[in-house]
Amino acid sequence: MLVTDAETLPKPLPILIVPDPTLRKTARAVTPADAEAVRSLIPAMFSTMYKAPGIGLAAPQVGSLLRVIVIDIAPDKTPSPIALVNPEVVAKSDELATREEGCLSLPDQYAEVTRPARVKVRYQDEQGIKREIEGDGLLAACLQHEIDHLNGVLFVDYLSSLKRNMLLRKLAKDQKERRGR
């Protein structure tokens, strides 16, 4: 049951911020034994993502090392929430696309990232039914970005070391200033 009505969503979860070590760990596959945990995790992840606000969120970003992501690339227009369990990219285009990316775990930090322009992702829905989704544009970038989180990869890993270090130093400075308020 995917809901976007703020009244019915659970309380948002805290979002982990870089350099939290959980963000660099590989999430494990969801098994049938995880069904109950996933049933409560997904609505909490949507609540967290919408409140942030963001268009995608991976379970490791809220401290859960399960292979679960949620995406809604149109939250302000007609919401189209998607929950993906055990997602994997099964095909990607040779054509590349560059777009600005940000991340809820790196607040207010943005950079141009180049990725395959189109992807096909195989996943399970909340009921465990196997599905596929194909995306291009923003959806393709979002799917790849969130699946990267499940593998301990951040968008800054696609940047040159100089750009990455500048961005991470700026994040650390911003976080220190926020704590000082």
Contact 87, 71 (CB under 8 A): no
E strands present in 104-159: 106-116, 118-124, 130-136
How many whole angstroms separate alpha carbon 171 and alpha carbon 71? Answer: 24
Helix-strand-coil split of the chain, %, nearest 5: 35, 30, 35
The strand pairing partners of 99, in sequence order, are: 113
How many whole angstroms separate alpha carbon 40 and alpha carbon 20? Answer: 23
From residue 61, how far is each of 33, 48, 96, 146, 157 by CA, in Å? 22, 10, 26, 10, 16
Residue in 88, 95, 112, 146 annotated catalytic: 146
Query: How large is the greatest C-alpha to C-alpha distance in the chain, in angstroms?
Result: 47
> In the annotation, is 7 catalytic?
no
**Pair of tokens at residue 76:** 């302000």
Looking at the annotation, which residues are catalytic?
A: 146
